[in-house]
C-alpha cells in the first residue's frame, strides 16, 4: 500500500484514468504483434487544459505551492512545452498568476511551431510568457524573476522543467499504485509499463512507486526523447531515489533498476523521425487516438519496434502510458503532411 495522503494535493484529474485495449491496432498489425496484447493508459484525456501526464505532477506541485501561500507559479520549458501549457491551465483553475520561461531549443522558426499548438494555448490560459534563446539557462532566468517578485511582496513557487521534482514525481508514484489496482480489477498482469522519457519524472515516479510497494522497478520502461541515454538514465535514477526518500520508503534503486532505451530519440529533441511518424499515423488510423510528435510518438515507435522484434512473450500484456501533448500535433503540421 502506498500512502501519500500527508502530501498537499490540488485535484486536477478524474481518477483513475481509463485503461483501454488497443484492439484496432491489434487487428491492423495481426501477426506482427507476435501475440502480444497492447493496452493504453489514457492520461492524455484527463482533466483540464487538454490533458496530459503533467497534471499528475501538478496536483502535488500546486498543492505544495498553495500550502506555502504562493500567489504566483513560475516554470520553464521548450517553446512547445506541454508542461508549460498545463501549468498555465492549472494555475488559471487555482486562481494563481503564472509566468513561463520558454527556450527556442528546437531549430524551428515556422509559424506553426512558434505560434500554434501549446504556444497558442499558453496565451489563452493567461500566462505571462518570456521567450529565450535555445542555449539560455531558463531556470536561472525563472529564479531571478521569482526573486524580483518576492522582493515586491509576492509569494512565488518555481517548478522545474517538466514538473519533475521529487514532489512532482509523487504523481506517478501514485499512478503506479493506480495501475496495479486497475490491473487486479481487469485480471490482467502487465509485463511492462511503457512511457516516454523527457524530464525523467514520469519514469522516476513510476519506478519509485513500484519500489515503494515492493515491486520490481524494471516493470516501468521508458524511451528517451530529450537527453541521450546515459544522461536520461542518470536522471531517472537520481529522481527516483529522491522521490523514495521523500515518501519515506527504505528502498533505493541502482542503475540496473532503470529500464530505459535511448535508441528511438533520433537526431535530437523535438526533431521528427520516420518511426515517430509511422506510430502517430498508425495509432490515429487504427484507434482514433492521438500520439504527440515529441514524446509519446517516439516512445510508441520504440514499443512497436520491440514488440515486432519479439522481445515480449506471446500472450503477454503491455501497457503504454499515453502522456498527452495533443496540441503539439498542430505545431508539426508540415512534418505530418509529408
- Is there a catalytic annotation at residue 81? yes
Cβ atoms 261, 229 nearer than 8 A = yes
Catalytically annotated residue among 81, 105, 116, 161: 81
Place of cell 491492423: 28
**What is the rounded distance in angstroms from the CA atom of residue 271 to the CA atom of residue 335?**
10
Distance, CA of 309 to chain centre = 26
**What is the rounded distance in angstroms from the CA atom of residue 338 to the CA atom of residue 286?**
19
**What is the rounded distance in angstroms from the CA atom of residue 208 to the CA atom of residue 226?**
21
**What is the rounded distance in angstroms from the CA atom of residue 312 to the CA atom of residue 88?**
39
Cell of 254: 541502482
C-alpha distances in angstroms, 97 versus 122, 164, 260, 276, 286?
12, 20, 36, 35, 41
- Catalytic positions are 81
Amino acid at each position: 500500500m502506498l500512502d501519500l495522503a500527508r502530501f498537499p494535493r490540488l485535484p486536477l484529474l478524474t481518477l483513475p484514468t481509463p485503461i483501454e485495449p488497443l484492439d484496432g491496432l491489434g487487428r491492423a498489425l495481426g501477426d506482427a504483434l507476435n501475440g502480444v496484447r497492447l493496452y493504453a493508459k489514457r492520461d492524455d484525456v484527463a482533466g483540464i487544459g487538454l490533458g496530459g501526464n503533467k497534471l499528475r505532477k501538478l496536483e502535488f506541485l500546486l498543492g505544495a505551492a498553495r500550502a506555502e501561500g504562493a500567489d504566483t507559479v513560475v516554470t520553464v520549458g521548450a517553446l512547445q512545452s506541454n508542461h508549460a501549457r498545463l501549468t498555465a491551465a492549472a494555475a488559471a483553475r487555482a486562481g494563481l498568476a503564472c509566468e513561463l520561461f520558454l527556450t527556442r531549443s528546437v531549430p524551428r522558426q515556422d509559424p506553426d511551431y512558434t505560434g500554434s499548438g501549446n504556444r497558442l494555448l499558453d496565451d489563452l490560459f493567461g500566462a505571462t510568457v518570456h521567450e529565450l534563446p535555445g542555449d539560455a539557462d531558463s531556470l536561472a532566468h525563472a529564479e531571478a524573476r521569482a526573486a524580483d517578485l518576492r522582493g515586491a511582496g509576492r509569494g512565488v513557487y518555481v517548478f522545474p522543467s517538466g514538473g519533475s521534482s521529487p514532489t512532482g514525481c509523487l504523481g506517478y508514484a501514485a499512478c503506479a499504485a493506480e495501475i496495479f489496482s486497475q490491473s487486479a480489477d481487469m485480471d490482467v498482469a502487465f509485463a511492462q509499463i511503457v512511457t516516454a522519457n523527457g524530464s525523467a519524472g514520469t519514469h522516476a515516479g513510476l519506478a519509485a512507486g513500484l519500489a515503494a510497494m515492493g515491486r520490481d522497478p524494471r516493470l516501468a520502461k521508458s524511451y528517451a526523447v530529450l537527453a541521450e541515454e546515459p544522461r536520461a538514465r542518470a536522471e531517472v535514477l537520481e529522481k527516483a531515489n529522491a522521490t523514495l526518500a521523500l515518501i519515506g520508503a527504505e528502498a533505493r534503486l541502482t542503475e540496473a533498476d532503470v529500464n530505459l532505451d535511448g535508441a528511438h530519440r533520433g537526431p535530437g529533441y523535438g526533431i521528427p523521425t520516420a518511426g515517430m511518424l509511422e506510430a502517430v499515423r498508425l495509432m490515429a488510423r487504427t484507434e482514433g487516438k492521438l500520439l504527440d510528435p515529441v514524446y509519446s510518438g517516439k516512445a510508441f515507435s520504440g514499443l512497436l519496434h520491440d514488440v515486432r522484434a519479439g522481445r515480449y512473450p506471446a500472450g503477454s500484456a503491455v501497457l503504454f502510458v499515453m502522456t498527452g501533448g495533443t496540441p503539439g500535433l498542430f505545431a508539426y503540421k508540415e512534418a505530418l503532411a509529408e
